[in-house]
Chain A
Amino acid sequence: MAETGTIALYLALVLSVYGAFGSVLGRLRSSPQLLDSARYAVYMVPMILAVATFSLVMSFLRHDFRVEYVAAHSNLAMNPEYTWVAIYAGNAGSLLYIAFTLSLMVAIMVALAPKAITHSLPYTITILMAIVTFFIGVMVALANPFDTLSFTPPDGQGINPLLTHPGMFIHPPLLMTGLAAVSIPFAIAVGSLISGRSPDGWVDVGRVWALVVWAMLGTGVLLGAWWAYTILGWGGYWAWDPIENVALMPWLALTASVHSLMVQKRRGMFRMWNIVLVNIAFTLSLFGIFINRGGPVPSVHSFGASTLGWVFLGFLGVSVLFSFGVFAFRYNSMRSAASLDSMLSREAAFLVNNLLLLGVAFVTLWGVVFPLISQMFRGVTVTVAAPFYNQVNGPLLLALIFLMGVGPLLPWRHATATTLRRAIQTPGIVAIVTVGLLLAAGISKPFALVAFGLCAFVVAGIVREWVHGTLVRHRRGENYLAAFGGLIAANRPRYGGYVAHLAIVVLALGVAGSSFYGTQRDIIMGPGDEETVGKYTIRFEGVRTETRADRIEFFNDVTVSQDGGEVMGMTAWRAFYPDLRMAATRAAIRSTPVEDLYIVSSESLEDGRVAFRILVNPLVWWMWLAGPLLLLGTLVALWPQRSLAGSPASTGRADGNIAAAPFGPD
């Protein structure tokens, strides 16, 4: 199968090069045949890469340790269900995965491309195929997952135990595909720029793909947080680790972009700004891939030091020069159709929101690159840790939540003091009452109070909009359910956006609760010992041991009683892998909307006692709700609008009034 895989890689490389050149040549020579042929090449590349991926899967399933990559990332003891994870456990396999999924998404984008971007699509295809060519080229030249050894080892080295977790089935694929797929909205925008046609023609389709990639990255980051929370055993979910940061940064830039594109769609404004934003998102995504591949910054989940990083850095440099070169070349054609009427308007709020999001992204970028700069120029190794990010980004994020509450309530163009007061009155009162109630309940940390108050403000604003809109439609004769459905359908991007805002609020709730009111204790217990942490009494019952082919598992059983009442059993799992000389843990977690009880066993002592880390993390449960809400919001925003143009009613022939027909009686 390895030979088939290699042949498929070379074939995919030829096809992607043909797609890149054929597309632009077809456009320049006005040859529809060449354009079609290049488009078919775009469809063929994922099919051929699927053959390569299938070959690698079969090599894993057949334990073909002659293949170097299979020997390095699996062994006979590996559960076959982790084959999927093993595929992208290393550099070469993950490149194949990225090339396959990126080419598949590109093919889907090209197949569904609307007529509005017909003239720029060949350039878009050329850019995207050049990127796909780069990934396949790196594989063929430097990191072929089908390279074979000169001998066949009897067993492989095994998969990294940290990867044997359900979250690993979705988290890395989403992040890797998401990072690479930022190139799609980028290529749509730059393709449009090169074609020099309508400056707004790309906005709809660009926004759709920006949203798709945004949801992928967002969900991937959240799943990564969940994975870290359950498996890394330190009780947290976000450590501002460089690899976490490099996935967050393009997500922040895309968040700014999907908001800003709405302004261009509605008002024809921010044309240059949107191109800049999508360029920044793309540059940050390539930077992320570079950090991930090259390993210049140590991280728990990078692929370690490798020369590949410099190849990606070179590609990043070329891409930046190209994208900003095109921007400079077309600078004069991107003047906005309108300008800001007032700083008290929705578009102004979007602009400030953009600046704050970029502020957070650049603070995070500085935190990632500062150790590299320090090492390079001063020869001093420094680590930028969580306190730096929390202190600088914390206030910026709070300001963002405030804007998230105010922005959607402001009208387009300009707001008067009266409209502003009417919009924020109810949410403001709810926020003040919430803060008062929290103070009465003994919550007094200022940052926490501000965070909870702002969350209440945003939720109240959204609920008010939904209730008000539903009531208005209900008064026009619709039942409540139809009125609510009609409200959502009337402006899906807006109401989908509200659901996404709710996702951010529940995320903020979890972060604020666990950051300001979490408790942690490290204790050593022998069998029969009891300890009290908060309202929980924990009794260590003993340890059960099981020996597997590749590991020794320790099941540390505890009994937990809450306020002397309900009693339940929990098991903190730990395993030691002798061949890999590493241990892995699975925390025992009892999760409720109020708080998580988190127990992880860190070490077994010779006298039979076990070291435990026990945490009580308030409101973390809400964080994991953010993922489904984020996806739901994206789905609502992207759901296609019912077509009216082709329907008989819309033609107006029924009443002979063609002008009034699509707009109803009023």
Chain B
Amino acid sequence: MPLLAGIVLAWISVLVLVWPFLRRKNAVHSDDDPVVEIRRRREAVYEEARVLHNDHLLGDVPLVEYEPRFQTHRVLAAELLRDEERLQELAGRLEEEILEMRRKVGTEG
């Protein structure tokens, strides 16, 4: 019985370890999505800005220091948002082009 349990555990382990090699190799990892990375960076900028704003409200950061730093965050967030939208537009256009080509191939075929 213990041996049988061991064999079952070993087989499950082997299957789990081998599984990534059996999957389609061109499967895209969501981690590789540049939009996700840009969104993460934008989130970090928002957090920085929120902390800075709160510190300023409490009087810990004087106006003379707050304004330029806040403006830097604001511009950076806008740039990241613009990049994100460009990437999304590009992805959308690519999808449309692929669809168009498929339609053409379908028509010609």
Say whether A and B bind each other: yes
Cβ of B54 to closest chain A Cβ, rounded Å? 4
Judge whether B21 and A48 touch: CB under 8 Å.
no
Judge whether A115 and B10 touch: CB under 8 Å.
no
Judge whether A659 and B77 touch: CB under 8 Å.
yes
**Which B residues lie within 8 Å of A468 (CB)?**
58-59
Closest to B33 in A: A115
- Total interface residues on A, CB under 8 Å, equals 52
For residue A605, CB closer than 8 A to chain B, the reply is: no
Judge whether B74 and A663 touch: CB under 8 Å.
yes
B76-94 with Cβ < 8 A to chain A:
77-78, 81-82
A644-662 with Cβ < 8 A to chain B:
644-646, 650-652, 658-660, 662
Judge whether A44 and B16 touch: CB under 8 Å.
yes
**Which B residues lie within 8 Å of A51 (CB)?**
5, 9
Judge whether A37 and B20 touch: CB under 8 Å.
yes
A11 and B53 in contact (CB under 8 A), knowing A37-B21, A643-B43, A658-B81? no
Option from B3, B19, B46, B73 in Cβ contact (under 8 Å) with A7? B3
Judge whether A37 and B74 touch: CB under 8 Å.
no
Option from B19, B36, B49, B73 in Cβ contact (under 8 Å) with A115? B36
**Which B residues lie within 8 Å of A666 (CB)?**
53
Scan B18-35; emit 1 where CB is below 8 A from any A CB, else 0.
Answer: 111101010001010000
Give Cα distance in the complex from A37 to B73, angstroms: 40
Give Cα distance in the complex from A645 to B85, angstroms: 12
For residue B100, CB closer than 8 A to chain A, the reply is: no
For residue A387, CB closer than 8 A to chain B, the reply is: no
- Is chain B's interface secondary structure helix, strand, loop, or mixed overall? helix
A491 and B5 in contact (CB under 8 A), knowing A33-B25, A472-B58, A663-B70? no
Judge whether A11 and B17 touch: CB under 8 Å.
no
Judge whether B16 and A40 touch: CB under 8 Å.
yes
Judge whether A118 and B31 touch: CB under 8 Å.
yes
Judge whether A115 and B31 touch: CB under 8 Å.
yes
**Which A residues lie within 8 Å of B51 (CB)?**
490-491, 494
Considering residues A115, A645, A663, which has the most beta carbons from chain B within 10 angstroms of its beta carbon?
A645
Judge whether A650 and B78 touch: CB under 8 Å.
no
Give Cα distance in the complex from A18 to B13, angstroms: 11
For residue B37, CB closer than 8 A to chain A, the reply is: yes
**Which B residues lie within 8 Å of A613 (CB)?**
none
Judge whether A115 and B20 touch: CB under 8 Å.
no
For residue A563, CB closer than 8 A to chain B, the reply is: no
Give Cα distance in the complex from A114 to B23, angstroms: 24
For residue A330, CB closer than 8 A to chain B, the reply is: no
Judge whether A641 and B75 touch: CB under 8 Å.
no
Judge whether A40 and B78 touch: CB under 8 Å.
no
Option from B1, B17, B29, B49 in Cβ contact (under 8 Å) with A662? B49
A33 and B9 in contact (CB under 8 A), knowing A472-B58, A644-B46, A663-B70? no
For residue A41, CB closer than 8 A to chain B, the reply is: yes
For residue B57, CB closer than 8 A to chain A, the reply is: yes
For residue B60, CB closer than 8 A to chain A, the reply is: yes
For residue A15, CB closer than 8 A to chain B, the reply is: yes
Option from B20, B49, B53, B75 in Cβ contact (under 8 Å) with A40? B20
Judge whether B6 and A4 touch: CB under 8 Å.
yes
**Which B residues lie within 8 Å of A664 (CB)?**
53
- Total interface residues on B, CB under 8 Å, equals 46
**Which A residues lie within 8 Å of B102 (CB)?**
none
Cβ of B14 to closest chain A Cβ, rounded Å? 10
Closest to B12 in A: A44
For residue B2, CB closer than 8 A to chain A, the reply is: yes
Give Cα distance in the complex from A36 to B70, angstroms: 41
Cβ of A484 to closest chain B Cβ, rounded Å? 13
Closest to B79 in A: A659
Judge whether A645 and B9 touch: CB under 8 Å.
no
**Which A residues lie within 8 Å of B55 (CB)?**
411, 491
**Which A residues lie within 8 Å of B46 (CB)?**
644-645, 650, 662
For residue B50, CB closer than 8 A to chain A, the reply is: yes
A652 and B81 in contact (CB under 8 A), knowing A487-B54, A663-B53? yes
Closest to A26 in B: B20
Scan A610-642; emit 1 where CB is below 8 A from any B CB, else 0.
Answer: 000000000000000000000000000000010
Give Cα distance in the complex from A465 to B60, angstroms: 11
For residue A439, CB closer than 8 A to chain B, the reply is: no
For residue A32, CB closer than 8 A to chain B, the reply is: yes
Give Cα distance in the complex from A51 to B10, angstroms: 12
Give Cα distance in the complex from A218 to B86, angstroms: 48
Option from A7, A118, A490 in Cβ contact (under 8 Å) with B6? A7
Judge whether B13 and A44 touch: CB under 8 Å.
yes
Judge whether B6 and A659 touch: CB under 8 Å.
no
Cβ of B76 to closest chain A Cβ, rounded Å? 10
Judge whether A645 and B39 touch: CB under 8 Å.
yes
Judge whether B73 and A8 touch: CB under 8 Å.
no
Option from A3, A32, A114, A651 in Cβ contact (under 8 Å) with B2? A3
For residue B61, CB closer than 8 A to chain A, the reply is: yes
For residue B103, CB closer than 8 A to chain A, the reply is: no
Give Cα distance in the complex from A645 to B53, angstroms: 17
Option from A37, A114, A413 in Cβ contact (under 8 Å) with B40? A114
A1-50 with Cβ < 8 A to chain B:
1, 3-4, 7-8, 11, 14-15, 18, 32-34, 36-37, 40-41, 43-44, 48
Closest to B43 in A: A645
**Which A residues lie within 8 Å of B5 (CB)?**
4, 7, 51
**Which A residues lie within 8 Å of B3 (CB)?**
3, 7
For residue B47, CB closer than 8 A to chain A, the reply is: yes
**Which A residues lie within 8 Å of B13 (CB)?**
11, 14-15, 41, 44, 48
Judge whether B9 and A663 touch: CB under 8 Å.
no
For residue A359, CB closer than 8 A to chain B, the reply is: no
**Which A residues lie within 8 Å of B61 (CB)?**
411-412
Judge whether B20 and A116 touch: CB under 8 Å.
no
Judge whether B73 and A663 touch: CB under 8 Å.
yes
Closest to B39 in A: A645
For residue A80, CB closer than 8 A to chain B, the reply is: no
Closest to A643 in B: B43
Q: Beyond A4-B2, A469-B54: 20 further Cβ-contacts under 8 Å?
A: A11-B10, A15-B13, A15-B17, A37-B19, A37-B21, A41-B16, A43-B16, A48-B13, A115-B37, A411-B61, A491-B51, A643-B43, A644-B46, A645-B43, A646-B39, A659-B75, A662-B46, A662-B49, A663-B53, A663-B70
Listed A/B pairs (10) with beta-carbon separation below 8 Å: A3-B2, A4-B6, A7-B2, A37-B19, A43-B16, A51-B9, A116-B40, A494-B51, A645-B46, A659-B74
The 4 closest A-B pairs by CB, nearest first: A7-B6, A3-B2, A36-B20, A659-B78
